[in-house]
Amino acid sequence: MAVQVKFEQVGTYFKQHDKKAIPGKLPNRLNDDPDLYGKLKYPLALSLGCKDFKDEGGGDVYESIFDFTRKTANRGTSLKETIDADIFSNRSNLTTIATASKFNREPSEIIALRKNGVIFLYKNEKSYEGKYGGGYNFEKYMTLNEVGHPHNPNEKVSNATCSKVVLRTSFVSRKETIKVYYASEVDAVDKNGNFVEMKSTKSDHGKWLHWNSQKHYFQSFLGNVPTILIGRKDQNDCVYQVDKIKTSEIPKMDVKWKVQNCLAQLFTVLNKIMSKLPDDDQAISVKIADGEISYENAKAEDWNFIHPSFLEYFER
């Protein structure tokens, strides 16, 4: 089953510490210093600025994109008309579904809940403490600050704020089209206005292809991001090499997965969810384990991840 993907950028926004959105703001500019690419003469110590790091970026299930959607909507329009999509999600849910396979056996549960003619997807997962800030520090090294200067290496690392792009993506197979409205975090923007994804890993290229390439590819692909920066780090959490990889080139490498198989799986699951939720106030649980996907009925009243005030805004 061939699946075509068509991206439409709705807008961008800056997520503040309080999870409110500032529409229109772009992420930090990419640092183009050639000394930061390839084999590095001076490794990047990811531990700098990470003392007492606290994960303040978690918990933003839908708060910031709800705020963006309210602020950019035309008053008097319904939610369905406003987002012009069948499903309201985030990039993480789509990536989880697309990459569920024998190569990625991580168990997950996604709740699908229909409200106001729109199906909302929510990943039911436990929060955890102790998140390390090294990945965010890599982003700090590779971007410029708001006045266009490199960040101070000792600057405290924080993930309390971030930039996001809002996409309306159409998945088309045969004569069927499924539209999904979602937000995707963006790490940087280059001098040509293209978004850039950043990852740091202790894996060499071969291990990265085997263990990480599928997830990293779909995170970038579904975010409509053309370039990924891979920071190779040693056992001391120092990045010694930075590789710039075109997202479109990853499937051509020695990988064990195929893009169309993953997209077909994503389309099939989204289509199944829609068929199982024909009416409002219905819910199902999509469970992923050992690469297998199953569906169970769920009680809509058990899930309250959609704030009533958001729905009420479009009912006025």
Categorize the per-residue pLDDT at 103 as very low, low, confident or very high, splitting at 50, 70 and 90: low
Look at residue 93 and tell me whether its pLDDT is greater than 70: yes
Written in H, E and C, the secondary structure of 81-143 is HHHCCCEEEEHHHHHHHHHCECCECCCEEEEEEEECCEEEEEECCCCCCCCCCHHHHHHHHCE
- Of all residues in the chain, the percent with pLDDT exceeding 70 is 97
Categorize the per-residue pLDDT at 107 as very low, low, confident or very high, splitting at 50, 70 and 90: confident
pLDDT score for 84: 98
Over residues 195-223, the mean pLDDT reads 96
Higher pLDDT, 316 or 20: 20
**10 Å Cβ neighbour count for 235?**
6
Look at residue 100 and tell me whether its pLDDT is greater than 90: yes
Mapped onto helix, strand or coil, the DSSP state of residue 267 is: helix
pLDDT score for 163: 97
pLDDT score for 291: 81
CA angle 128, 18, 62 (to 5 degrees): 65
Categorize the per-residue pLDDT at 180 as very low, low, confident or very high, splitting at 50, 70 and 90: very high
Look at residue 130 and tell me whether its pLDDT is greater than 60: no
Residue type at position 142: M
Look at residue 132 and tell me whether its pLDDT is greater than 80: no
Over residues 114-127, the mean pLDDT reads 92
pLDDT score for 87: 99
Look at residue 128 and tell me whether its pLDDT is greater than 60: no
Look at residue 186 and tell me whether its pLDDT is greater than 60: yes
- Report d(CA 28, CA 195) in Å as an integer: 10
pLDDT score for 75: 82
Over residues 301-308, the mean pLDDT reads 94
What b/e string do you get for 80-90 counting C-beta neighbours within 10 Å, with b at 16 or more?
eebbebbbbbb
- Per DSSP, what are the bridge partners of residue 310? none
- Of all residues in the chain, the percent with pLDDT exceeding 90 is 87
pLDDT score for 1: 86
- Report d(CA 118, CA 179) in Å as an integer: 11
Look at residue 245 and tell me whether its pLDDT is greater than 60: yes
**10 Å Cβ neighbour count for 291?**
14
Q: Residue 116, by phi and psi: left (phi above 0), alpha (psi -120 to 50) or beta?
A: left
Judging by DSSP bridges, how do beta strands 227-233 and 238-246 pair with one another? antiparallel
Give the domain ranges of the chain: 4-311
Burial bucket for residue 210 (CB in 10 Å: 0-12, 13-18, 19+): middle
Of 237, 52, 27, 31, the closest CA to residue 151 belongs to: 31
Q: What are the backbone angles phi and psi of residue 7, rounded to the nearest 5°?
A: -100, 140
Q: Rounded mean pLDDT of the chain?
A: 94
pLDDT score for 230: 98
CA 143 to chain centre: 19
Could you write out the DSSP letters of every residue in 251-304?
GGSS-S--HHHHHHHHHHHHHHHHHH--STT-EEEEEEETTEEEEEEE-GGG--
Q: Which of 21-25, 53-57, 96-100, 194-198 has the lowest mean pLDDT?
A: 53-57
- Report d(CA 285, CA 148) in Å as an integer: 46
Look at residue 59 and tell me whether its pLDDT is greater than 80: no
Take residue 106 and report the two structure tokens written for it.
């991580």
Look at residue 264 and tell me whether its pLDDT is greater than 90: yes
pLDDT in tens, 9-57: 999 999 999 999 999 999 999 999 999 999 999 999 999 989 888 888 7
Categorize the per-residue pLDDT at 129 as very low, low, confident or very high, splitting at 50, 70 and 90: low
Look at residue 127 and tell me whether its pLDDT is greater than 70: no
Take residue 208 and report the two structure tokens written for it.
């990265």
- Report d(CA 142, CA 138) in Å as an integer: 6
- Report d(CA 315, CA 78) in Å as an integer: 7
